[in-house]
Amino acid sequence: MAYEQASTGGFFIDTPAQAPSGFEHWKAVHVRLHGCYSWQQLSDALAAHRDELDDEALALALDKAISFRKGSNQAAADGAELLGGAGSDGSASAAAAGQQTPQLSQAQQQRALLASLGSAYMRLLPHMDATLATRLLHSFATVGINPPGDAKGLLELCRHILEHRLPALKAVSPDHLINVLWAIGKLSNNERVLLEEAELGTRAVDPQLFSAAAGLLYPRVDSLQSRHLSKLAHAFSMAGIYYYPLLLVTVNAARVKIAEFNPASLSNLIKCLARLNFPEDAFYQVVAERMQLDMRKLKGHQVVSIVRAFAALKYENADFYEAASQRLQLAMSELTALAVTQTAWSYAVRNIQDIKLYNALAFRAGPIISKFSPSDLAMLSWSFARQGLHQRNLLEISAKESVRKMGGSTMKTMANESVRKMDGISMKNMANAAWAYVWRSPTSACTIAVSSQSRRI
C-alpha cells in the first residue's frame, strides 16, 4: 500500500485532502448522499464525488452503507429461512445454490464500497475532529473493514493515534479512548492482518499505544459504566496485550458495580479475562454468586460462555457448575453445535462428573451432527471419553461425520499442512478424535478410517 507524507507530518495517507469547490457544490454532494436509498444509488454517488467527500459527507455515506448492509443481511436471512421451509424434493437446495453466486457478488461489491470509504477516511483523518474520527473508526471496525487496508497500515494508524490523537482524547470522556482501543483490537483480528503479521514479524498493534492509553485510563476506571469496563477488557484481550495494573483496577471496579452488569457484558468481561489468563478468584466468586442468582434469566449461550471461561481459568466452584448444568439442561434446545462442544469440554477439563448433562448433550448433538465442524467433533468425542462415558449412538454418528468431513485427506497431507488446518481439522484434533474412538470403541468406523489413512504415509 503506497502512502505520501501528510502536510501535518506524523502520518502517511493516500493523497492530500481535496476541499469542495464551493458551498453550492458541497451542498449538492450532501443532498445527493441524503437522497440515496439503495446500494446502487450510494455507489453511483460515491463514484461521482469520491474525491470531494469531506468529514460530514464521509460520515453520512458510512452511516448509509452500514444501514443498507444491515437491511441486506436481514433480507438474506429471511430468504434463507424461506428456502429452508421449501419442500423436501431438493427445490430449496437448488434455489439456494442458484442464488449463491449473485449474493456473493453483491457482498463483494458492498465490501469494496466500504473499503473505498475506508480509503477516504485515511485521506481525511489528519484534519478530522477527534470525536468524529473515533466514531467512524469504531463503525469501520464493527463491520470488519480495516481503513488502512493491511497490517502495515494498521500499525501506522496506531502510531498516528499515539502521536497525534491521545492529547485530544485525554480531554474528552474516557469511552472515546476505549472505543479507539476496541476498534484497533478488533481490526488486529482481521484475517488478512493476521496473515500479514507473519511477514512483518510483529503484531499489527503498537504496544506503546495501549500502554500510553492505559496510563490515561487508569485514574478514570472507577468512573466507567459497566459496559465500558467490559469493552475495555475486550479491547486488550483482542489486541493480546496483558497490562496487569489496568486489568486489576478494572476488575476491582467491576466488583463494586457487579449489580449494574447485564448478562452479556458480564459474560464478555469474564471471557476476556480468561483469554488473558488473568487470575482473580475472589472476583470470579462474586461473578459466580451473581450468575447463580440470575441463572433462570440467562440464555443458554450466556451460561455456556461463563462456564467455558471458568473452565479455562481453572476456577473451581461446585455449586455454580451444578446450577449451570441444570439451566443448560432446560435450555438444551437453544444450544448450537459449538455450544454443545464447549459445554462438554468445560465439564470434562474440570473433571466434573454429570451424567444427566452429558446425556442431554448427546441427545442434542445427534440431530445437529452435520453442523459440527471436524474440530468440534474431535473435541466432543474427546470430552465424552475423558469422562469415561460411552454414548454408542453419538460415537457412531460422530465417527461417520468425521470421516465424511475429512473426505479424501490423508494423514500425510495433513502432516505436511500441520501449521494450517486441512479440511477444518488439525493434527491435534485428529489425535484427540483417534484417542477418543480407540479408547471407547477400537472397532469404530473412524478408527478404521484413521488406520487406513495412516498406511498411505
CB 328 within 8 A of CB 300: yes
Length of the chain: 457
Q: Which residue has the cell 469501520?
A: 140
- Angle of CA points 171, 147, 26, to nearest 5°: 80
Q: Which amino acid is at 133?
A: A
Euclidean distance between the first and final Cα of the chain, in Å?
43
Residue pLDDT, tens place only, 363-372: 898 888 888 8
Least confident piece of the model among 11-25, 104-118, 171-185: 11-25
**3-class DSSP state for residue 13?**
strand
What does the pLDDT read at residue 446? 46
pLDDT of 103 over the 60 cut:
no
What does the pLDDT read at residue 399? 56
Residue pLDDT, tens place only, 299-317: 999 999 999 999 999 999 9
- Farthest-apart Cα atoms in the chain, separation: 79
Residue pLDDT, tens place only, 391-429: 655 655 655 655 565 554 444 433 443 333 334 445 455
Tell me the average pLDDT across 174-199. 89
> What's this model's pTM, rounded to 2 decimal places?
0.76
What does the pLDDT read at residue 391? 61
Task: Report the percent of the chain where pLDDT is more than 70.
Answer: 72
Q: Which amino acid is at 444?
A: S
